[in-house]
Amino acid sequence: MAKSKIIKELANNEISMEVALNRLLIIASDIDNEELSEWASSELHGYKQSEVFPAYRQIKSTQFIYSGINGSFQVTNVPFTYLPILQEIVPDIIDLQIGDSISTLQGFLDNSNSYSYCRDYSYLNDYVYGKTGIQCTRIIQCVPLNYLQNIMSEIKTRLLKVLIKLD
């Protein structure tokens, strides 16, 4: 398979990045490049927590929302402004490593009902109640979709650079 064909197809969005990464996996195998093969495989299948995440998959998000009862008010999806309380239990809570596969990330971006990528921290509900008296039923950390778009853009750029270098 001609690398220049893959480059043109990817640059013109004629093939998905998933297809291009699968092709790169084959090329990496042909040239016995284990590092390139591992990168393509991690992007295709997602990163394991034990793996070192690339810098472009490490982000910060301080956007937390919660639902529950605050005083005498029932609230739904309002900003959670008690971040230091969460940081008492999870010190690096704002530092996220997005390890999902490229197809999962693309699925979030393609879903017109998604406004953000979320991490659930509802297991901290009792702790928050003990510290603030707020009865949370849900606490989530939101990552705006443009962060995922930036990750996808970085993967595409790196993929194109690798293919160009190999061509």
The answer to whether the CB of 7 falls within 8 A of the CB of 160 is yes
Q: Average pLDDT of each block of 10 consecutive residues along the chain (167 residues)?
A: 78 90 92 93 93 93 94 94 93 93 91 78 96 95 91 95 87
Residue among 165, 124, 149 at smallest CA distance from 33: 165
Cα 20 to the center of its chain, rounded Å: 19
Number of helices and strands in the chain (H, E):
7, 6
Task: For helices 34-45 and 102-110, give the axis angle rounded to 10 degrees.
Answer: 40
Global pTM value: 0.84
